[in-house]
Amino acid sequence: MIMSDYLKYRLQIKNEGKPPTQKKVKKIAPFSKKRQAANKVYAEKSRPFWKNKPCQIRSPVCTGRAQGIHHRKGKATIADLLDERYWMAACNFCNAYIENKDEWARKMGFKVSRINQDC
């Protein structure tokens, strides 16, 4: 963008004859301090939960060996993230299958509603 002479003049007046300064760009943190602390706790607890264990889901695309954790209730809140009652050792293919086949997952009990506590 080319600045007109008038705009340059106005900027000089505004900045008292100094060249215009640029504001420092502040990076937004990807996680809050509270969530960062919860993620540390989760990292310590989760690896032993699934490491060297079989996949508990056994969908039609299962590889048989767990590669991570499936959170039946999701990970939206810190309480849901750290609640081991809703964890299942799962392979990546089964985890993706659950996300793509919502009706099947709910019928099989691999997804639990966070809203309706009766489910």
pTM, two decimals, is 0.71
Element (H, E) at 8: helix 5-14
pLDDT of residue 119: 47
Q: What is the CA radius of gyration of the chain?
A: 25
The pLDDT mean for the chain works out to 88
Do 68 and 43 meet the contact criterion of CB atoms below 8 Å apart? Answer: no
What pLDDT, on a 0 to 100 scale, did the predictor assign at position 18? Answer: 64
Q: What is the model's pLDDT at position 4?
A: 79
| Beta-bridge mates of residue 68 | 90
Scanning 15-119, the segments in alpha helix (DSSP H) are: 33-50, 78-82, 92-100, 102-108
Q: Rounded distance, CA 65 to CA 53, Å?
A: 6
pLDDT computed for residue 117 by the predictor: 62
| 37-84 pLDDT, tens digit each | 999 999 999 999 999 999 999 999 999 999 999 999 999 999 999 999
- d(C-alpha 85, C-alpha 99), whole Å: 19
Model confidence band, residue 20 (pLDDT cutoffs 50, 70, 90): low
Domain ranges of the chain: 56-112
pLDDT of residue 10: 79
